[in-house]
Amino acid sequence: MDETKKDRTAAGDVRTRDRAGTERPTLWQPGFFAAALAGIVVVGLALAVAELVSILGDRTQVLNQFSSPLLAVGAAFITLTPEWLKQFAIATFGESDKIALQVGMGVTVFVLAAVIGLVARRSPRIAAVMLAVFVAICGVAVLTRPADVGPLDLIPSIIGGVVGIAVLGLLFRRTALDAETRAALLKEREEQEKGNGPADPREYPTERRATPAMDSALARRRFLGLVGITAAAAAAATAVGRFLPSSADVNASRDALQVPTASPQTFEGGVTLDTIDQAVEGQEPFLTPNADFYRIDTALTLPNITAEDWSLRIHGLVDKERTLTYDELLQLEQVERTITLTCVSNEVGGSLVGTATWIGTPLEPLLTDVGPSADADCVLCTSIDGFTLTAPLEALTDGRDALLAVAMNGEILPQRNGFPVRMVVPGLYGFVSATKWIVDMKVSKFADEAAYWTQRGWAQEAPIKTASRIDVPRGFSQATAGDEVVIAGVAWAQTRGIGSVEIQIDGGDWQQVELSPALSKDTWRQWRTTWVAEAGVHTIRCRAYDDAGELQIEEMVAPIPNGSSGYDSRSITVA
């Protein structure tokens, strides 16, 4: 075989010559950025098509809603993210941690797609293999989700992969004329020059009218045109997928429901929800609006399940299993309870805590009815998206207001907060109690179960610690000397209640502050006081005692493994 060498022109052509210097057919290759863009567009089309097939399959009930490769890869991405990075995302971005994780996943896929495009410049076959491997990873992610998926749920990934590989081959197919065609072209040109060929070159067959320079231009235009068409197809598939969201079914299901009638909660001393709120400007209201209630969970996107499709299976170490539909759940006793919930990821002074009035079915009668085994000590609770937690059986059956909630602050439970049904358990951090979108409860033993967060080093049982927070003044705010500065915040110690709150200024004596009336031991209490500002930079701290006189922990501890501790503080400048 003759040895050859390649010379690249400014236009991106590759001119191949043999050792004798004879030029062979011209090959055009896309530039670096054009190839990377093509890879991104191809992978984008593959994912868009897969998502569209997944959505259509979900709507026709042929496929599980978790057949989506993006959701599956996203769940795997969250699972494989190091624990320190998850906590950093929650601490840094709060409820926007999902956006941060989505951006991280997007950047990873973006880079991979660009690499596939760059590899395709030299070897479309290797690039196709890389894309096939990516599709296989998506398939494995789908099949290994804890949700109820099967082989059929691979269909979206397979179809998306086939489309992507086909378009990749079409984009990077060689465009040069082969040697035989080039020889025929030159011969016909010679015949024309001798007057033996058609007078108009346009009468030649299309593939034989091109000069080497024209080959490159046509190939370039063809490539860029196909990239544009592919991008448009990806955008169209994405648009159609968004036009047919199954979340519309969830909204329709919620809209058709009415908040069930429930036994109201009674409070001592004539206290009511109408009179309890004593928030000052800038302070957290007693009831947290649904839209502002914190959301921390592992669901990359909100699970789409309607009330009509929902059911709850209670099984495991019980005398008799039981399965409840949504309508059957509503036929059981419904109670109204105001309860403060706290996320274990809440840092000292953080906002991952809120209070709402919930309506739901008490869990204790349900669990008593199925007859738990004497040696059972936990309940493995599973969400529709496969998330699991282990709640202490005792905490669900010791008389506290543990609920299967269906309504929140006077409206049907919002989707982001767990619609159709979620768990609410006073006194426990959410990662061992507050299962959203709950569909399964397995009575079991801690020794036999490994839930999502406990597998990652968090505590097996996690009662909420006594805590307090300063809402106003904000950190680094300014005041004028002689002004009366309002200092206010909230404190909580669910199931124990808050007995008193104190503040300290610049390391001085601790001073008690005014508390709002105690609604119940399961809710936080607002507190406030005033202070005549003096010139200088001042530090304000707060601390709380529970009803038994137990002081909150002063030592600053990070949330993992069983919740943060420490005194909240604020600095204020007085001029």
- Rounded to an integer, what distance in angstroms lies between the CA atom of residue 51 and that of residue 431? 30
Which tens digit of pLDDT belongs to each residue from 332-372?
999 999 999 999 999 999 999 999 999 999 999 999 999 99
Burial 424-442 (b: 16+ CB within 10 A, else e): bbbbbbbbbbbbbbbbbbb
Tens of pLDDT, residues 391-424: 999 999 999 999 999 999 999 999 999 999 999 9
CB 329 within 8 A of CB 406: yes
Mean pLDDT on 264-285: 83
* Structural class in CATH, domain 467-574: mainly beta
Query: How many CB atoms are closer than 10 A to CB 238?
Result: 17
Arithmetic mean of pLDDT over the chain:
82
Q: Which residue has the higher pLDDT, 287 or 385?
A: 287
Every domain of the chain and the residues it spans? 32-173+239-245, 268-456, 467-574
Under 8 Å between Cβ of 80 and 154: no
Model pTM? 0.69
Q: Which amino acid is at 53?
A: V
Structure tokens at 541: 């701290």
Instruction: Confirm or reject CATH 3.40.50.2000 for domain 268-456, answering yes or no.
Output: no
One-letter amino acid of 88: F
Look at residue 204 and tell me whether its pLDDT is greater than 50. no
CA distance readout (Å), 51 to 68, 77, 145: 6, 17, 17
